[in-house]
Amino acid sequence: MPSRSPRSKKSSRSPAAPIAILTDFGYRDHYVGAMKGVIATIAPNASVIDITHGIPSQSVIAGAIALAQSWRFFPKHTVFVAVVDPGVGTSRLPIAIDTRADARFVGPDNGVLYLAAKDAGIARIVELRGSKYRLENVSSTFHGRDIFAPVAAWLWSGTPIASLGPTLPQMTQVSIASPIRRGKTLHGEVIYVDGFGNLVTNIDRAALDDLAASFRLAPLLVRITKGASMEIFQAYGDVPSGVPLAILGSFGLLEIAVRDGSAASFFESSEGTPVTVIVST
């Protein structure tokens, strides 16, 4: 690790921008704390924000969705470190990304960075090869501490992304399937389950509006698994406690919830569960 702390470089650039961390490490072990210790050693003035460490273990797509839903609420020049890395120690590459929105992303090239980086406008992707910007002894199982945390700290401190390694022409992509329209029905699926047990789908407001408009703004009903059809409400509090409902949530996507309960448990559902929207005529 370089011994000199580059405090003065950052103070002239963007002192408000933090380093933001997202992982699937959970809250029991020391892993996140060790990453923060590395950051503090290299960039002691950096503000570090935890997005979450509760991503389901090894769920790259859940990490990608959470990062994509978070990055735009941070200041420009924020450095995002996302470590959901089931391929750690394999041939998958460590990368950093610069974007046209001035957000920087650091993590494994397995798709966890892709949705957010694409949304921010990918400007440059580099492979993290520079030994100067990682710890001296790199573990094959903890690149979050030994590669990604140091790189994030050096980026925050003003190190040009081009100094970190060679430019890559592309990165690993992940995608979210679009809902499918069939006559009076719209077929989607659950793509994310939050900590409240709310089931977030891949159906957005535009798809719902288009379906309703095709049938003179007829009411829409939502069905999941073999449950009864639900109306789409404006707020969780619009139904009595324990009652399931559909709602357009903070993701901007249709979600299924249970007032004061867990829709995931109520419907015994998870990522990939089919969801159907039906025109009520």
Task: Determine, yes or no, domain membership for 145.
Answer: yes
DSSP character for 28? S
- Strand stretches in 76-204, DSSP E: 79-83, 94-99, 104-108, 122-127, 180-182, 185-193, 199-204
Q: Which amino acid is at 247?
A: I
Here the CATH number for the domain that contains residue 88 is 3.40.50.10790
Task: Determine, yes or no, domain membership for 124.
Answer: yes
User: In which domain, by residue range, is 143 found?
Assistant: 7-164
Residue 265 in contact with residue 204, Cβ under 8 Å? Answer: no
Q: Each residue's pLDDT tens digit in the chain (281 positions)?
A: 444 444 434 333 455 799 999 999 999 999 999 999 999 999 999 999 999 999 999 999 999 999 999 999 999 999 999 999 999 999 999 999 999 999 999 999 999 999 999 999 999 999 999 899 999 999 999 999 999 999 999 999 999 999 999 999 999 999 999 999 999 999 999 999 999 999 999 999 999 999 999 888 788 999 998 777 899 999 999 999 999 999 999 999 999 999 999 999 999 999 999 999 999 87
Residue 54 in contact with residue 26, Cβ under 8 Å? Answer: yes
pTM for this one? 0.90
Q: Say if residue 200 is in the same domain as residue 271.
A: yes
Residue 260 in contact with residue 196, Cβ under 8 Å? Answer: no
Q: What is the spatial distance between Cα 204 and Cα 271, in angstroms, rounded to a whole number?
A: 16
Task: Determine, yes or no, domain membership for 78.
Answer: yes
Kind and range of the H or E element at 155? helix 149-156
Q: Say if residue 123 is in the same domain as residue 200.
A: no
Number of domains in the chain: 2
Q: Say if residue 121 is in the same domain as residue 219.
A: no
Task: Determine, yes or no, domain membership for 58.
Answer: yes
- List the one residue out of 196, 147, 180, 206 whose CA is nearest residue 276: 180
